[in-house]
Structure 1
Amino acid sequence: MILTQEFQDELHRPQFPYKFKIKTVGCPVDCNAAIARADLSIIGTWKGPIAIDQDKVREYAKKGMNIQEEIVNFCPGKCITWDGNNLSINNSDCLRCMHCITRLKGALKPTPPFGATLLIGAKAPFVIGATLSWVIVPFMEMKPPYEEIKNLIRNMWDWWNEYGKNRERIGELIIRRGMREFLEVCGLEPTPEMVREPRNDPFWFWKEEDLEKKPWEEFLK
């Protein structure tokens, strides 16, 4: 609601090269498929450890749930262990996918700080199918008046308006001009979570100021 009110002029009188959809979901389960259908996906998440109610976990086991098969083996971060009586989670390896929390409802729950992961670049054309978005901000605390995300959106819009071609979505512009330029315009620092896929070409491009830093000297130490 706050973002809608903030950007209502842009929504009613769009000046962009093409569509820009913002979708918000409360957790990584992503029930409305924001990561496949939105130019900017706002996915609710958390940074605290997962709180465990061991008694409720045991109740699930007594009712017939195979904790090892249905919870531990399905964890993408391989951070959960079950000894038959107690469930343990290595929160430093947790990917916050919500699978264990949704399956063990009431036994597990996230803890503060709460915020959101921001992803960019999805679209769902009929011809080639959905293109999934990728992470640009792993975690942003969402506190009123939400100036951080408002400024980020305006920065990316300014860049898109400047360089976007007719009917070119912002994700396509990022692919065409490069993620590095996008991050510089938005004032974002690169992080491992932003890697969409391993490099598929042998070329590495340096800017002039990068050459002055002589990064290879640090590598050779």
Structure 2
Amino acid sequence: MADNKQHETPMLDELENGPWPSFISGIKRLRDEHPTERINGVANDLLGQLEHSYETRKGYWKGGTVSVYGYGGGIIPRFSEVGQQFPESKEFHTLRVQPPAGNHYSTDMLRQLADSWEKWGSGLVTFHGQTGNIMFIGATTDNTQHFFDEINDYGFDLGGAGPCVRTAMSCVGGARCEQSCANEHKIHRTLVNNFTDDVHRPALPYKFKFKVSGCPNDCMNSIERADMAVIGTWRDDMKVDQQAWKDYVAEKGRQHTIDNIITRCPTRCMSLKDDDSIEIDNRNCVRCMHCLNVVPKAFSPGDDKGVTILMGGKRTLKIGDLMGTVIVPFMKLETEEDYETITEIAENTIDFWAENGLEHERCGEMIERIGLVNFLEGIGIEVDPHMIADPRQSSYVRMDGWDEEAVKWFERQAETAQSAAG
């Protein structure tokens, strides 16, 4: 930046006031302190264009087409309409890069990514964007290929962008969390590896997202945000350490315990006894996780663990926000056959949606449009009474055809029991 004068940024400077960290300060550090002159110049012109946008109240980034060999997505093109005034940042593309499952990094891995980005990009990185990707912000058209080739050599790949299977997300899981009920990272990798082609070559009606949470806390917000949510759970009784519970009651007091745990159970399935022991009606437990989170020494998930699969969660688009609907109430994920089954469910869902979804229509919106029964028939899953969208909220249910479906369900249960016994 030896020949470039620093742009005056009085409006951006205001964003550095107040108690909170400012992204402007970060860009200024790249401009003023980074040892690479190219990055100094890019950061300077980026600040200049942003100040210009604030002054004129207009955005000056436009799209285009930028890709790497063999890929149809993963890069968000940004070309500046005022590139003559700010030439160092006239091309400022973003590369979406898939993170490791559970966002598990080593410091060596982070340094390697940072070194590659400072070599080929602007030095600006977001860990992680709302999409779940690592967002490498600010590369020229020529350098996108060089950067991708370098990180791909040591194991990283581009994420999804456009009408495709998007980058999956999973929680930190059993590596750090005692509530984990499933192998989150194996589920994540199994699904992503199976749909790699659909990530890189957009050919679907719109985006499709996988998110994996290891327990009903759903730290990935998969119920609200994932077209296919996989959430760890258990179907036997939760485990209770009565002594640890009594120690908690003795420390906090009965009134505190009643006010903050017992009465906050959404189904009132907990009862505090006279001797300070706890009694739980497990048939009415809906896995809200409140008691397990507050007293993890006393309560923990049961031993019969598996996952629940929900479909159709999304944010606002055509018909507003949707929560995922339970499609598979419970399934074990222990053997390779189990993982093949969950992959098959995902394949059938994406294939059916690709054929029947309207342009720019999410999977959940298609389910709302055609009806859950038609969707289940299309993906080859039998109707189950445990498939719920809004538990315990409506006292009215549709009963047409219920008796016939109930008979089928009991027959399937009997066949399963006979198979297990035989």
Task: Give the aligned length.
Answer: 207
Partner of 1:58: 246
Query: Within 2, Cα distance between the matches of 1:64 and 1:140?
Result: 38
Query: Within 2, Cα distance between the matches of 1:130 and 1:179?
Result: 17
Shift of 1:32: 2.2
Query: Within 2, Cα distance between the matches of 1:144 and 1:150?
Result: 13
Partner of 2:53: none
Uncovered stretches (5+) of structure 2, i.e. residues with no partner:
1-188, 405-422
TM-score normalized by the length of structure 2: 0.46
Query: Within 2, Cα distance between the matches of 1:137 and 1:7?
Result: 20
Q: Does the 8 Å contact 1:39/1:123 carry over to 2?
A: yes
SS in structure 2 at match of 1:151: helix
1:177 corresponds to which of 350, 370, 379: 370
Query: Within 1, Cα distance between the matches of 2:399 and 2:386?
Result: 21
Query: Within 1, Cα distance between the matches of 2:210 and 2:323?
Result: 14
1:122 corresponds to which of 313, 316, 331: 313
Partner of 1:218: none
SS in structure 1 at match of 2:377: helix
Partner of 1:166: 359
C-alpha RMSD over aligned residues: 2.5
2:295 corresponds to which of 87, 104, 113: 104
The 1:62–1:189 alpha-carbon spacing in structure 2 relative to 1, beyond 3 Å, is same
Query: Within 2, Cα distance between the matches of 1:203 and 1:32?
Result: 35
Shift of 1:35: 0.9
SS in structure 2 at match of 1:63: helix
Shift of 1:203: 11
SS in structure 2 at match of 1:41: strand
Matched, 1:72 2:262: yes
- Residues 3-82 of structure 1 aligned to structure 2 (within 5 Å): 3-64=191-252, 66-82=256-272
SS in structure 1 at match of 2:252: coil
Shift of 1:54: 1.0
Shift of 1:130: 3.4
The 1:203–1:112 alpha-carbon spacing in structure 2 relative to 1, beyond 3 Å, is closer
Q: Does the 8 Å contact 2:292/2:300 carry over to 1?
A: yes
- Could you tell me the percent identity over the aligned residues? 37
Q: Does the 8 Å contact 1:24/1:43 carry over to 2?
A: yes
User: Match for 2:340: what amino acid?
Assistant: E
SS in structure 1 at match of 2:207: coil
Shift of 1:200: 8.7
Q: Does the 8 Å contact 1:37/1:130 carry over to 2?
A: no
User: Match for 2:228: what amino acid?
Assistant: L
- Residues 85-104 of structure 1 aligned to structure 2 (within 5 Å): 85-104=276-295
Matched, 1:2 2:190: yes
The 1:166–1:41 alpha-carbon spacing in structure 2 relative to 1, beyond 3 Å, is same
Shift of 1:195: 3.5
Q: Deviations over 1:62-96 (max 9, x none)?
A: 22152222222111222111114100111122112
Shift of 1:109: 0.8
Query: Within 1, Cα distance between the matches of 2:244 and 2:399?
Result: 53
Q: Does the 8 Å contact 1:115/1:142 carry over to 2?
A: yes
The 1:202–1:194 alpha-carbon spacing in structure 2 relative to 1, beyond 3 Å, is closer
Query: Within 1, Cα distance between the matches of 2:399 and 2:246?
Result: 54
1:156 corresponds to which of 349, 352, 369: 349
Shift of 1:162: 1.1
Query: Within 1, Cα distance between the matches of 2:244 and 2:282?
Result: 19
Shift of 1:157: 1.2
Q: Does the 8 Å contact 2:322/2:364 carry over to 1?
A: no
Query: Within 1, Cα distance between the matches of 2:388 and 2:191?
Result: 27
Shift of 1:23: 0.5
Shift of 1:126: 7.3
1:196 corresponds to which of 389, 401, 421: 389
User: Match for 1:54: what amino acid?
Assistant: Q
Query: Within 2, Cα distance between the matches of 1:151 and 1:60?
Result: 45
The 1:199–1:55 alpha-carbon spacing in structure 2 relative to 1, beyond 3 Å, is closer
User: Match for 1:165: what amino acid?
Assistant: L
Query: Within 1, Cα distance between the matches of 2:209 and 2:377?
Result: 22
Query: Within 2, Cα distance between the matches of 1:171 and 1:45?
Result: 23
Partner of 1:213: none
Q: Does the 8 Å contact 1:46/1:113 carry over to 2?
A: yes
Matched, 1:136 2:327: yes
